[in-house]
């Protein structure tokens, strides 16, 4: 009973902890991203809070739930996700996701439970919504301090988490701007109210000033427009409030908010110029790329072309898979051609693609319930509190951003917490009532309710544990990557991968990483001169383990083309080493990858490389042309085609592809060398010289390019230049007898190309 008595305190402070920590929480190590840290916080705290609330409810033998359509409408979203996942075929990716993804069943269950707990706990006492907002402003003050330190002291990266200037403890740079805009609105709207009394007023003022200054540094145009929009909405509300009791009169305050809206709107135009006037260290920009509305609708159109997916979509968290299948080929002409986008143009539009009409209905219900809150607020403007108005408009603000943008977990969690705070404030102001449900074991209805409550707790606990496993496993893979990049220690990185797989055997990302490390380890062992039986046994053991990692990855998720590409690359390496059956296995894996992601040219490029090793230039040419049809500016494919045409003595075609390579990748020394060899074969020695000089300017010790450059100089009767270059090559290759003979022939005035030169 002692533990049951403590449950109420655990629940109450867990909710307050989420308001305080969600915006700025991070773990100061380079392998735990800000997103992962916030998801871990959300899953652990919300799971513990819900279990404690169940214990508290069982102790009290009753539960009090606000009678709000917002709670019911919000519940439809995780239900839609669950039904979509079951209909499309339950998978780890849809239910849990790698790293505890947001667009998953468990992700939305967590968000809904956060909403529910926020509504129930904050609505239990009159001062709790205000305290939640105060803690949010305190969190804002912490964020401002952290970001100011990061900007003023660039070397201080908080353990490597904020390694780039355009990073923040909220999430992305854009997330920071959205949050600061929200904090600025809340602090302005409630500064003169009892929410910020005493010392809290100074916290709110610090948050207000700091947010305004940082917004100029962040300077996202849409953030200024969003701030203008929410300010205008608040101005309309203040206009409808009676002026009595207001410090400056209600109408004057509405005009003040209208002025704030105009200033925010003006910053949309003058913000860029103002940012350019800042010191160089503060002129920070972030390249943010995601599919457009057109691209997102194109994916949705293809997904819904299958009748079975119209109602339930392709399944939660499947947008990257559908993107690989149906993305517009025009994307392949950009530098993001090989990027797997996990979301479309916005969070809610992505959800509509993955959950279909059912998801659309759920989101319409959610947004409709929120719109009803706005309408009711204006109707009750004579009695509605400013806190309630600020909470409702903040919830609208963040919901709109879920339509137009893909917020990180901090903003998504905060959105649902604010939904709960809106419901709580409506309860406290008498706008809605609460239902009391008995969970007493004395009545059969109470026993049924208690069992249902206990079952819900078990389900959330199980989902929370699985989500935590996914997060920890993903973090361990990140640690392996950081360890290898910093120390090149394959053994240490492999141990992290092994631990990641122990935590979550079903992680295909961990198994893919195991393949990558295995290939590196195999190369190191193969190049070793140790021929002992122990070394051979280690080589065989590493080979077997690496193959098992590759097979495990495709077994875990056979619809993920990356798993097949990784396995194909492994078998391709083994085929190059002469391992029996490896070539056939590599071809099958490449075909599976092409089937899973037909808009990615890498599968056809890999098949062509296998063809070239086999000596089948005709098949290689066909696969390379297919790859170029998918991505016209694929430099590697043009490079290989130029060599194939050169071997066939089709030099004009070889020249065309070689020129394409140097246009696509002008800083690639190998491309210029290849172009030079084709020009040399065409006896165009002047252009050959230019190409070889380009290659040498990029890579000064490129011996082959220097050698052919020297010969090209000689063909142009520039014997002195030829000798200078060839002697430089000879200095680094003293054992090359043919090179020595060529130099001697030129020095003696003999033609080194003549059959009787010596």
Note the pLDDT tens digit of each residue in 467-495. Answer: 999 999 999 999 999 999 988 899 899 99
pLDDT of amino acid 531 = 67
Range of the domain at 231: 2-459
The stretch 266-271 carries a mean pLDDT of 92
Quote the radius of gyration of the chain (alpha carbons, Å). Answer: 32
What's residue 99's pLDDT? Answer: 66
CA 431 to CA 391: how far, in whole Å? 14
| 63 beta partners | 437
Lowest model confidence (mean pLDDT) among 18-32, 361-375, 655-669, 718-732: 718-732
What is the pLDDT averaged over residues 666-672? 94
* Helix (H) or strand (E) segment spanning residue 358: helix 347-379
pLDDT at 24 over 60: yes
Domain boundary residue, one of 612, 640, 655: 612
Q: Are residues 438 and 555 in the same domain?
A: no
Total domains, the chain? 2
Mean pLDDT along residues 232-256: 73
**CB of 551 within 8 A of CB of 543?**
no
Among 727, 662, 720, smallest CA distance to 695 is for: 662
pLDDT in tens, 558-574: 999 999 999 999 999 99
- Choice among 6-15, 18-27, 82-91, 741-750 with the minimum mean pLDDT: 741-750
CB atoms within 10 A of CB 754: 9
d(CA 238, CA 746): 92
Q: Do 235 and 341 fall into the same domain? A: yes
* Among the listed residues 64, 63, 25, the one whose alpha carbon sits nearest the alpha carbon of residue 44: 25
450 and 518 part of one domain: no
- pLDDT for 100: 58
- Encoding tokens for residue 415? 């959105």
- Say whether both 432 and 551 belong to one domain: no
End-of-domain residue from the set 425, 459, 493 = 459
- 521 inside domain: yes
pLDDT at 730: 86
Mean pLDDT of 694-714: 91
pLDDT digits (tens, 9 = 90+) for 363-409: 999 999 999 999 999 988 777 789 999 999 999 999 999 999 999 99
Tokens of 629: 């049809």
Summarize the confidence of residues 450-465 as an average pLDDT.
92
Residue 417, domain member (yes or no): yes
Question: For residue 640, what pLDDT band results from cuts at 50, 70 and 90?
Answer: very high
Four-point Cα dihedral 675, 680, 685, 687, nearest 10: -10
Instruction: Assign 532 a pLDDT band (cuts: 50, 70, 90).
Output: confident
User: Do residues 285 and 352 share a domain?
Assistant: yes
Cα distance between residue 746 and residue 188, in whole Å: 84
Give the confidence band of 235 by pLDDT, cuts at 50, 70, 90: very high
Residue 701: its pLDDT value, please?
87
pLDDT of residue 509: 94
Q: From its phi and psi, is residue 249 left (phi > 0), alpha (psi between -120 and 50) or beta?
A: left
pLDDT at 275 over 60: yes
Do 454 and 512 fall into the same domain?
A: no
Please calculate the CA angle 304-305-310 and round it to the nearest 5 degrees: 35
76 within domain boundaries: yes
Instruction: Report, as an integer, the average pLDDT of 6-18.
Output: 92
Q: Write down the pLDDT at residue 381.
A: 77
pLDDT the model gives residue 89: 87
- Of 423, 442, 459, the residue that ends a domain is 459
Report if residue 464 sits inside a domain.
no
- Please compute the mean of the pLDDT values over residues 339-367 and round it to a whole number: 95
Q: Which residue has the higher pLDDT, 536 or 171?
A: 171
Contact 30, 481 (CB under 8 A): no
Q: Please tell me whether residues 410 and 516 are part of one structural domain.
A: no
Q: Same structural domain for residues 454 and 509?
A: no
- Provide the pLDDT for residue 753: 76
Polymer length of the chain: 758
- pLDDT band for position 253 (50/70/90)? confident
In the predicted model, is pLDDT for residue 662 greater than 80?
A: yes
The mean per-residue pLDDT over the stretch 703-715 comes to 91
Does residue 354 share a domain with residue 216? yes
pLDDT digits (tens, 9 = 90+) for 574-584: 998 888 899 99
Residue 729 lies in a domain: no
Mean pLDDT of 677-701: 93
* Position 631 in a domain: no
With respect to residue 350, please indicate whether it lies within any of the assigned structural domains.
yes
Among residues 108, 109, 116, the alpha carbon closest in space to that of 65 is found at 116
Place of tokens 């053994």: 491
In sequence order, which ranges of 1-127 are alpha helices (DSSP H)?
A: 2-21, 34-60, 69-88, 92-95, 105-122
Which DSSP letter does residue 436 get?
A: E
**Tell me: the pLDDT tens digits for 129-170?**
999 999 999 999 999 999 999 998 888 888 888 888 888 999
Please say if the pLDDT value at position 422 is more than 70: yes
- Residues 426-444, mean pLDDT to the nearest whole number: 84
Q: Is 553 helix (H, G, I), strand (E, B) or coil?
A: helix
Looking at residue 172, the DSSP 8-state letter turns out to be: B
CATH number of the domain that 525 lies in? Answer: 1.25.40
The answer to whether residues 437 and 581 belong to one domain is no
Q: How confident is the model at residue 250 (pLDDT cuts 50, 70, 90)?
A: low
Beta-bridge partner residues of 65? 435
- Condensed to tens digits (0 to 9), the pLDDT of residues 602-621 reads 999 999 999 999 999 999 99
Is the domain of 410 the same as that of 525? Answer: no
Q: Are residues 176 and 45 in the same domain?
A: yes
Q: Does residue 130 fall inside a structural domain?
A: yes
Q: DSSP H helical segments within 405-507, as ranges?
A: 409-428, 444-487, 490-503
The reported pLDDT for the residue numbered 577 is: 83
What is residue 2's predicted lDDT score, i.e. its pLDDT? Answer: 55
pLDDT > 90: percent of the chain: 70
State the chain's mean pLDDT as an integer: 91
User: Which stretch of 32-46, 93-107, 129-143, 647-661 has the lowest confidence by average pLDDT?
Assistant: 93-107
pTM of the full structure: 0.91
pLDDT at 26 over 90: yes
Q: Mean pLDDT over residues 618-635, rounded?
A: 96
């Amino acid at each position: 009973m002692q533990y049951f008595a403590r449950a109420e305190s655990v629940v109450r402070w867990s909710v307050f902890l989420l308001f305080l920590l969600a915006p700025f929480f991070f773990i100061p190590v380079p392998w735990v991203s800000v997103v992962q840290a916030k998801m871990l916080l959300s899953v652990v705290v919300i799971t513990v809070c819900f279990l404690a609330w169940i214990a508290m409810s069982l102790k009290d033998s009753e539960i009090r739930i606000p009678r709000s359509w917002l709670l019911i409408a919000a519940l439809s979203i995780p239900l839609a996700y669950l039904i979509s996942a079951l209909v499309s075929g339950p998978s780890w990716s849809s239910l849990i996701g790698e790293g505890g993804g947001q667009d998953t069943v468990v992700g939305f269950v967590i968000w809904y439970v956060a909403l529910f707990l926020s509504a129930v706990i904050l609505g239990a006492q009159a001062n709790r919504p205000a305290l939640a907002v105060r803690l949010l402003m305190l969190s804002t003050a912490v964020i401002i301090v952290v970001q100011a330190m990061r900007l003023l002291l660039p070397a201080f990266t908080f353990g490597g988490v904020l390694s780039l200037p355009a990073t923040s403890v909220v999430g992305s740079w854009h997330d920071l701007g959205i949050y600061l805009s929200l904090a600025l609105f809340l602090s302005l709207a409630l500064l003169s109210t009892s929410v910020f009394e005493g010392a809290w007023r100074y916290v709110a003022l610090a948050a207000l000033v700091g947010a305004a200054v940082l917004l100029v540094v962040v300077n996202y145009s849409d953030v200024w427009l969003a701030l203008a929009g929410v300010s205008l909405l608040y101005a309309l509300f203040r206009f409808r409030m009676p002026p009595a009791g207001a410090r400056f009169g209600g109408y004057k305050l509405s005009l003040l908010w209208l002025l704030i809206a105009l200033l925010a709107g003006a910053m949309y135009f003058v913000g860029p110029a103002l940012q350019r006037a800042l010191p160089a260290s503060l002129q920070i920009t972030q390249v943010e790329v995601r599919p457009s509305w057109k691209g997102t609708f194109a994916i949705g159109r293809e997904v819904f072309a299958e009748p079975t997916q119209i109602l339930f979509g392709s399944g939660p968290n499947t947008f990257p898979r559908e993107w690989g299948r149906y993305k517009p080929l025009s994307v392949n002409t950009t530098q993001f051609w090989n990027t797997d986008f996990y979301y479309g143009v916005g969070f809610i539009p992505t959800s509509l693609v993955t959950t279909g009409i059912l998801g659309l209905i759920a989101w319409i219900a959610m947004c409709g319930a929120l719109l009803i809150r706005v309408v009711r607020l204006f109707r009750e403007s004579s009695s509605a509190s400013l806190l309630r108005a600020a909470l409702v408009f903040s919830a609208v603000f963040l919901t709109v951003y879920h339509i137009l943008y893909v917020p990180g977990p901090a903003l998504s969690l905060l959105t649902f917490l604010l939904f709960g705070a809106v419901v709580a404030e409506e309860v406290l102001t008498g706008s809605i009532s609460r239902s009391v449900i008995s969970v007493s074991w004395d009545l059969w209805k109470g026993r049924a309710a208690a069992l249902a409550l206990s079952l819900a707790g078990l389900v959330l606990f199980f989902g929370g544990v699985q989500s935590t496993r996914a997060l920890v496993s993903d973090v361990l893979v990140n640690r392996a990557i950081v360890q290898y990049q910093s120390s090149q220690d394959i053994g240490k990185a492999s141990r992290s991968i092994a631990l990641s797989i122990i935590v979550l055997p079903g992680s295909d990302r961990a198994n893919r990483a195991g393949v990558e490390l295995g290939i590196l380890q195999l190369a190191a062992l193969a190049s070793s001169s140790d021929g002992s039986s122990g070394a051979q046994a280690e080589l065989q053991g590493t080979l077997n383990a690496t193959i098992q990692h590759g097979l495990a990855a495709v077994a875990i998720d056979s619809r993920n083309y990356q798993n097949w590409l990784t396995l194909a690359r492994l078998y391709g390496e083994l085929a190059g080493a002469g391992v029996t059956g490896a070539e056939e296995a590599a071809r099958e894996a490449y075909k599976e990858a092409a089937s899973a992601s037909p808009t990615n040219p890498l599968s056809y490029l890999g098949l062509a490389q296998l063809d070239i090793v086999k000596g089948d230039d005709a098949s290689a040419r066909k696969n390379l042309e297919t790859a170029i049809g998918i991505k016209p500016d694929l430099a590697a494919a043009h490079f290989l085609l130029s060599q194939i045409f050169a071997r066939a003595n089709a030099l004009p075609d070889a020249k065309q592809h070689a020129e394409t390579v140097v246009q696509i990748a002008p800083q690639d020394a190998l491309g210029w060398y290849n172009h030079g060899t084709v020009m040399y074969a065409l006896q165009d020695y002047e252009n050959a010289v230019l190409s070889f000089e380009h290659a040498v300017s990029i890579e000064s010790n490129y011996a082959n390019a220097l050698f052919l450059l020297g010969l090209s100089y000689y063909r142009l009767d520039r014997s002195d230049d030829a000798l200078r270059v060839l002697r430089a090559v000879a200095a680094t290759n003293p054992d090359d007898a043919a090179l020595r003979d060529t130099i001697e022939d030129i020095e003696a005035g003999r033609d080194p190309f003549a059959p009787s030169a010596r």
